[in-house]
Structure 1
Amino acid sequence: MHFPNRQASRPTVAWVAWLALLVAPMLAAATLDPAVLPKVQAATFEVVVPKPVNDPLTYEKPLPLDQLPFQLRNDKYYSVGTAFAVGDNRYVTAGHVLAIGISNLMGEPAVRDANGNVYAIDKITRFSLQEDFVEFTLKNAPKIAPLEVNTQPAMNDVVYAVGNALGTGIVIRDGLYTSQTPEEENGRWKWMRFSAAASPGNSGGPLLDRDGKVIGVVLMKSPDENLNYALPIDLVLKAPADLAVADTRQLYQLDAIDDKHSGTFKAQFPLPKSFADFSATFQKLYDAYVDQQLHDLLAENADTMFPKGSGSSRMLHSSSNLNPFPTLLHRNSSGTWVATTTSESKGTLPHNGYVSKAVVGNQLMFHLRKPDDVSSKQLYSDPKLVMDLLLKGAPLQRRVGSEQVKVTSLGKPSEEQTFTDAYQRHWQVRVWPMAYDNSKLIAFLLPVPDGYAAMVRVVTAKSAHEEMGDLKALANFFYVSYSGTLEQWKEYLANTELLPAVLSDIAIRFDYDNDFRYQSKRMDFSYTPALQKIDKDSQLVLGMSYFEDHGKVVWDVSNVVVKSNIDNAEKISVNRHIAPSDDLDDSYRNYWGKVLRRSHPDDGVPYSENDMTYIGTVGGTPVSADAKPNVLYTAFYGVDGPRPEDAMKGKLNLLLEKLQINEH
């Protein structure tokens, strides 16, 4: 199962990307004064995070860890960057390096010297998100001489980029200090640009002048040329003491619309703090910020967010597509709300089960048809079972060396909650940690008669709150119909606490080989085996739609289809139609006019289509020239193969005899 990444405009910790590039190539070191080199080596450290000790995941086979390099395989830590000493127990690294530890599932970052000694971080003393640096102290700090600094380096002079490579030694590469460039947002300071080679292993390391003095903090590569960026060390030293500052512009987007909201994450809080307190404080402020971003984005689009605005009219007048595979409503480039098209793939499960999946926006959408030997009660009460079934039908793989190894179980979720969306649908929300890449799998599971319809994202641990907020917002744009055998419906309806509110107003009753009845405030009908077979394998589909009801948009049944079996050999349907609003085009009025006049195929005359014979008409409203109903229902009967006209009319009469329409 391939889970899509979040869009690049979202601020997330790119853990996997950094981890993949940590091993800096061991290039020939540039020449420094032999007297300076030992000092540089002693004052430069790796930034490391501990590897997970316990892995709750289960795999199809033992992980082929022997494919990993010896150092990486046997190290108890992941190397994520470089730090260096600038004073007595004062150390500096890149802000994004230490940010990997915020809400990290593995543990707090630390630093490691060339001899393999690991030192825990004591306090965070300075931090700037926008300038991308952090200053900190260590517990039981080693007795070393800090690096000297040069706050006025000469342009076009030789420089040295220094970084660690998984504890195998200092890598020093030379180049030139070539230029300066303003920071991207408002030109508040100037980045240093240099030509010395650098890799993510260098992030947070010192940029040295020809005398081995620090002139900058290595931060990032240029996206379009062979130049790298550093923050002048002067900005670090002049930054406010005992203060953490964030002041950076970011974009926010929700999958339902293409519009983006531009906001500024602006916050500050006092230091020093332990790393745990720093992490918790930063995360709390950031989570509040993204919550406000989502609120502002929705507010900016309030007049045109579904179901408001003229762009919603077509969707509010459309019948359900009867598809049990879920998708999302989306506002297209013309401003019209549509159901996003999908191209799902299917994986089989034992005992007639299957998993269908498709990528819709930034999430995977699933339809899990439970195996026949799993009851609804088992499924809805056992999240481990649910995820095991999803993984069996849609494999998730972990790369180790050159191999992809299937994950067969994520174990039990670390978080469970119930979420009710704006249309009173009750979601089971489950979160599984995957510590091996510092990520979480978030699943929004909507119980349906034959299993689950679901939205799933894999996200960095730091962005879990943001992603959870996104999915809660997207739940209001979720589009799916309810389908299952009568046996599955019987089990499903017994789980009353999980049923959507709409079903509390609908009675579905059946007695195999005897009768079937559907009853709601809108319409009801019933039939006996004289019309169509009724047994445990009969299929009931409730086509769900969003439509307006007495001034309020509801999510309700717009189409009821009952089939004799899954093969469509025989079926009946009752479909709801709405009078078009004035802002809709002529195609809607023409269609409505045909229904109103009982034109073909609603004229009670049998016809053939796709090897089936159908007959249908409008039920519940008498024909009259001045009739102006707001709602009409059509009733249809279909059966495979050619059938006599009299027999088809007799079947239609049996359906109409017990069809009652309660709205007009």
Structure 2
Amino acid sequence: MKKIVSYFLSAFVALSSIFAQTSLDNDVYKKVSASVFEVVVEKHEDTKIVYEKELPLDRIPFAIRNDKYMPIGTAFLLTDGSFYTAAHVVNLYGESVYNKYFVRDINEKVYEIDKIQAFSERRDFIKFSAKGFKFSKGMGLETDDNFELNSDVFSVGNALGEGIVIRNGSLTSQTYEQKNGDWKWLRFSAAASPGNSGGPLIKPDGKVIGIITMKSENENLNYALPIKEINSEKAGTGSAFADYKYVLPNILSYKHPRKFEATITLPKTLAEVNKELTQLHNQNIIDCVNEMKKDYGITGAKCFDNSQEKDEFFMRTLGVTMPLLIYHNQSGVWDYARPNNIQTYNLEENGYIEYGSMVNYYFARIRPPDSVPLKELIINPKKCTDYLTKPFNLSRNVYGEQINILSLGEPEKSETYVDYFGRTWYVNYYALDFADALFMTFSLPLPTGVFLFGTISTRKSVTATNYIDAQFMTDFIYPRYGGKLKFWRQYFSLPSDIRNKFSVTEKQMSMKESKDSLSLSIGDITLSVSKKDINYNDESAITVRTGYDKIDGKVVIKNRNLVFTTSTTEADFKSVSILQVKNPGANAKETLTQSWNQLVNQVSPYNNEPYCQESYTYLDKIVYPAGPDKDKLEYLYVLTFAIEGQNKFDEIKKFAENIEKGITLK
């Protein structure tokens, strides 16, 4: 790489007199070249990922392909014997595969960054030493606080990661720091490409007047920190700072203002600085989310149970197959959302994946192949992600070609998380080291397989914010428990170490089978049937729908609906539904009150009389719990019976009479 760099440097010197107003004389050029360094990190290659074919690494240019390091920025040496760069070049806090940083000189000699002597995130600079670097008198660049606008300046840096280049321009203006005006940025027209960050802005005599930090968003001007600002920090300290507005994925109506400010003592190694600041920063995020939970968490003052929509949440049950996400929209209304553009990807042996995305997360429901037991999906998370790589189009770009990923391998880390309602989520993190990223998934066992949601982001984001956001969202996931009888058998026969992690609501679901009868219970509702009344088999389906309630001031999930049906693909279809409906209350919306009154007063079709709809005959019956009068009911039950064929009024009455004998309600 350095031969290529030298070529460009020589070419620049040769052409500068033609294309530039001012060029560096040879002595200055040599001094600058010896004092400016690339900031590099060691390359990391994934060992667990399986690709559809061998990566075409031979397409990568020779100099890059054979370099064991990856350039990320620029640093420079001053006459005080210390190195300087922009703070954002080095990962001061947050997890990353790049734990060591190096400076590389023009002769390709590499030195590891050692002690951080000073830094300021606001001003965007770091002062540091390098292991094994021997400083002697005469080395390094001098600084100069004096400059004139419209004078010639040069940007020096590792432009585009292809070696140190020097480019000329003018010092155009100064502009106040945006927050408090504590200093003025230097603005200049000399080109500064990605990789120039941390390099020196110099005068024609080679003296440093600033540290290159950022590029203007709206015009072709770049910014540098005046070099005198490197003395702004109190001796022996470094300061981190971030001013941000935090947004939770499913709370679209509110951005929470927050600051991160921390001052630590120095000198310390980069690893020590990273560890200390990471703990402080991550705790700052946790504190921020906890503040937001006071309003928008499941027990928050502005959650759906304290909203205008609360009656709908407490009265209704929903029956969609893909779990929903409860969210607070931009209009400040609580509602249910389903993933966008839900698609189905077919697996072998009748398996499939329903998948979509929303709020920057993937959502999927995996129904495994017939030969893969439910237990396998839970205890072997690799199998889940192996299924997901194709529909999610996971791939890696290698010099313009997308190479599909077949497997991410075993998770780098696995843990469990218990949400507010006691549901246990299986959390897994998969490494994508080539991008310094993680694929994080939260999965919940269901009778038909698993539901999961997750995201791919940088390690720093996943380990600082995404996992907290995902934990917050678990409280707002609304699942449906449903599937064929053969799948429910697997669900109920899961090992005790898995079943013991179920929530109270999930543990209330149970099933007992004998040769010719079946008993299902979901807490307040129990249904016992015999094959002479309903000819069920492995393809028959059970559905349990949940709803919200408030008990002793606490929001809880209750099993409110039990549905048992024979297979729709076979003759003599029959269905039983037992639904618990909660009284919406006197202050509920008119539509909800009307619905409740229709049930209480047994208005048709809830009058225990058969009726026809499409190709089925139905009968709906209202059952009141023992105790209070109808006008004081907290809830009631709707029993719905259905058989295939129209006008089978006698048959549906007999069917309902026989099935009702096996129904027990609390």
**Percent of pairs with identical residues:** 32
Query: CA 1:222/1:627 → structure 2, altered by over 3 Å: closer, same or farther?
Result: same
After superposition, the C-alpha distances for 1:165-216 in whole angstroms (9 at most, x for unaligned) are 4775422222211112222222222211111111111111111122221111
Q: Are the counterparts in 2 of residues 355 and 394 from structure 1 also a CA contact under 8 Å?
A: no
Equivalent in the alignment of 2:170: 176
Find the partner of 1:423 among 418, 421, 424. Answer: 421
Q: For 1:265 and 1:204, how far apart are their aligned partners in 2?
A: 23
Equivalent in the alignment of 2:605: 601
Give the aligned length: 638
Query: CA 1:205/1:595 → structure 2, altered by over 3 Å: closer, same or farther?
Result: same
Find the partner of 2:525 among 505, 523, 526. Answer: 523
Alignment partner of 1:289 is 2:281? no
Q: Are the counterparts in 2 of residues 63 and 405 from structure 1 also a CA contact under 8 Å?
A: yes
Using the size of structure 1 for normalisation, the TM-score is: 0.91
After superposition, the C-alpha distances for 1:555-582 in whole angstroms (9 at most, x for unaligned) are 1212212221265954221112111123
Structure 1 residue 497: Cα displacement: 2.5
Structure 1 residue 509: Cα displacement: 2.2
Query: CA 1:562/1:550 → structure 2, altered by over 3 Å: closer, same or farther?
Result: farther
Q: For 1:438 and 1:414, how far apart are their aligned partners in 2?
A: 13
Residues 8-19 of structure 1: pairs in structure 2 closer than 5 A = none
Q: Say which structure, 1 or 2, has more relative contact order (CA 8 Å, 6+ apart).
A: 1
Structure 1 residue 518: Cα displacement: 2.1
1:204 partner letter: G
Equivalent in the alignment of 2:102: 110
Deviates more, 1:258-267 or 1:177-186: 177-186
Q: For 1:391 and 1:128, how far apart are their aligned partners in 2?
A: 41
Equivalent in the alignment of 1:324: 321
Q: Which runs of 5+ in 2 are unaligned?
A: 1-7
1:288 partner letter: Q
Deviates more, 1:567-576 or 1:267-276: 567-576
Equivalent in the alignment of 1:11: none
After superposition, the C-alpha distances for 1:62-99 in whole angstroms (9 at most, x for unaligned) are 11222322222222121111111123441111111112
Alignment partner of 1:208 is 2:202? yes
2:563 partner letter: V
RMSD (CA atoms): 2.5
Alignment partner of 1:271 is 2:270? no
Find the partner of 1:395 among 387, 393, 396. Answer: 393
Query: CA 1:510/1:104 → structure 2, altered by over 3 Å: closer, same or farther?
Result: same
Alignment partner of 1:230 is 2:228? no
Equivalent in the alignment of 1:60: 52
Find the partner of 1:500 among 500, 503, 507. Answer: 503
1:474 partner letter: M
Q: For 1:295 and 1:77, how far apart are their aligned partners in 2?
A: 40
Alignment partner of 1:358 is 2:329? no
Equivalent in the alignment of 2:336: 339
Q: Which runs of 5+ in 1 are unaligned?
A: 1-23
Q: For 2:418 and 2:325, how far apart are their aligned partners in 1?
A: 17
Local SS of the residue matching 1:565: coil
Local SS of the residue matching 1:357: strand
Equivalent in the alignment of 1:12: none
Q: Are the counterparts in 2 of residues 148 and 213 from structure 1 also a CA contact under 8 Å?
A: yes
1:173 partner letter: R
Q: For 1:566 and 1:457, how far apart are their aligned partners in 2?
A: 37
Alignment partner of 1:560 is 2:554? no
Q: Are the counterparts in 1 of residues 38 and 163 from structure 2 also a CA contact under 8 Å?
A: no
Q: For 2:629 and 2:380, how far apart are their aligned partners in 1?
A: 58
Structure 1 residue 486: Cα displacement: 1.5
After superposition, the C-alpha distances for 1:9-29 in whole angstroms (9 at most, x for unaligned) are xxxxxxxxxxxxxxx999876
Q: Are the counterparts in 2 of residues 125 and 137 from structure 1 also a CA contact under 8 Å?
A: yes
Q: For 1:292 and 1:621, how far apart are their aligned partners in 2?
A: 45
Q: Are the counterparts in 1 of residues 561 and 580 from structure 2 also a CA contact under 8 Å?
A: yes
Alignment partner of 1:159 is 2:153? yes
Find the partner of 2:41 among 16, 40, 49. Answer: 49
Q: Are the counterparts in 1 of residues 201 and 209 from structure 2 also a CA contact under 8 Å?
A: yes
Deviates more, 1:270-279 or 1:385-394: 385-394
Using the size of structure 2 for normalisation, the TM-score is: 0.90
1:201 partner letter: G
Equivalent in the alignment of 1:635: 639
After superposition, the C-alpha distances for 1:294-327 in whole angstroms (9 at most, x for unaligned) are 1122225575343541245144334222223123
Local SS of the residue matching 1:141: coil
Q: For 2:603 and 2:29, how far apart are their aligned partners in 1?
A: 91
Q: For 1:437 and 1:153, how far apart are their aligned partners in 2?
A: 41
Local SS of the residue matching 1:114: coil
Alignment partner of 1:470 is 2:498? no
Equivalent in the alignment of 2:513: 510
